[in-house]
Amino acid sequence: MRKNVFIFVILLGLVAYSAYDYINNRTNSDGNKQQSVQDGGATVGIKEGKQAPDFTLNGLDGTPVSLSDFRGKVVVLNFWASWCPPCRVEMPHMQRLYEKYDAKNVVVLGINLTSTEKSSDNAQSFVDEQGLTFPVLLDSKGEVMDNYRIVAYPTTYFIDEKGIIRQVSQGAMNADMLKKAIQPLI
C-alpha cells in the first residue's frame, strides 16, 4: 500500500512539473504569449537561449538600475539572500570573479531577495561583512524573484552581451564552476 502511494505521489509530481514546464515555455512572466525581441529574434523568457526579462530595481544607495543598463556586457546575475548558507559560501567566489573579469566587460549583478529577509538592513550588513564591491540590487517586493521563478538559493544566470541567457545554475558555485561558465562568453 505504501509503495502504491509513493508511486502515485511521484507520478503526480511528474505531471505537475510537465504542466509547469509547458506553461513556462508558452508564456512569459506576465502570462502573455512570448514576444519576439528585435535583436536576433530571440523571445523573452527565463531559459537558456531566451532574452533575459528586463527589470529595474533600486541599488543599496537607492539608485534605480535596470538589467538593460548592462547591454553590451556579459552579466552574471546572481540571486541571493543573507540567511542562505550556500549564498554565504558562494559570495567570496562571486567577488573574485568580479575583480578578475570587470576589466573584460563582465559585470556581476547581485539581486538580494529582500522580500525573504527578516530586515531590509540585512542586505547592506551582508555586503559589508563580505566586502562585496559589485552592484547589489534590492528585490523588495519579490517581483523579479517571481518573474525569474527563483526557487533555489542561490541561482545564477549567465547572460551574454546581447542579453541572451546562456546558462542557468541553481545552488552555490565555486571558482572553477564560475570560470567554466564565464569563459565561453568573453
Point out the residues that are catalytic: 84, 87
Nearest to 97 by CA among 177, 28, 33: 177
Nearest to 145 by CA among 108, 112, 107: 112
> How far apart (Å, rounded) are the C-alpha atoms in residues 151 and 59?
22
DSSP 172: -
Residue with grid cell 524573484, as numbered in its chain: 145
> CA–CA distance from 97 to each of 12, 43, 117, 185 (Å)?
41, 29, 25, 13
